[in-house]
Amino acid sequence: MSNYTKILVAVDLSDESSAVVRRATVIAANNGAQLHLIHVIEPLSFAYGGDIPMDFSGIQDEIQQQASSQLKRFGETHDISEDNQHIILGRPEVEVHGKAQELGADLIVIGSHGRHGLALLLGSTANGVLHGAQCDVLAVRVGD
């Protein structure tokens, strides 16, 4: 069986993200694989769109700027170059699948749980990424 060549790590930038990326870094080193990071920003309109008649664009810009600088810092800390950092607006599971396909990733690494907490056996995003993925998916156990 061949080694992994391109690994995509999905991070929600919660406290658990470092443990997830550390695991992916070890796998990448052992396989001689490239490591990519993705963070997906969910537009406020997805959550509140029809319900609240309000213009979210200012807050949305602010959220995107903060997320970009957080991801940049996170990438620096874990020695992942900016070219390999991806920030996308959309639904996490959809965008993670899309980026994995675009890059030709052969492994997606996610946390078993993230911002949405430990209420479920496997977090809802983790579950969504697992379903329909075109490559291997590793859910790193976090939150114990």
Contacting ligand AMP (CB under 6 A), which of 7, 8, 20, 21? 20
Q: Which stretch binds ligand AMP (CB under 6 A): 32-40, 45-53, 56-64, 78-86?
A: 32-40
Shortest distance in whole angstroms from residue 53 CB to ligand AMP: 26
Distance CA 103, CA 78 (A): 20
What is the helix (H) or strand (E) element at residue 64, kind and residue range? Answer: helix 57-77
Least Cα distance to 101 among 86, 116, 112, 111 occurs for 86
> Can residue 75 be called a binding residue for ligand AMP (CB under 6 A)?
no
Among 6, 36, 39, 99, binds ligand AMP (CB under 6 A): 39
- Of the ranges 10-18, 25-33, 45-53, 77-85, which one interacts with ligand AMP (CB under 6 A)? 10-18
User: Among 24, 71, 114, 137, which residue interacts with ligand AMP (rule: CB under 6 A)?
Assistant: 114
Neighbours of 28 (CB within 10 A): 23
Choose one: 22-30, 51-59, 74-82, 110-118; the region binding ligand AMP (CB under 6 A).
110-118
- State the Cα–Cα distance between residues 49 and 112, nearest whole angstrom: 28
Cβ–Cβ < 8 Å for 141, 118: no
| 80 is an interface residue for ligand AMP by CB under 6 A | no
CA distance 124 to 127: 5
Joined tokens for residue 113: 């749980």
Interface ranges with ligand AMP (CB under 6 A): 10-12, 16, 20, 38-40, 92, 110-111, 113-116, 123-126
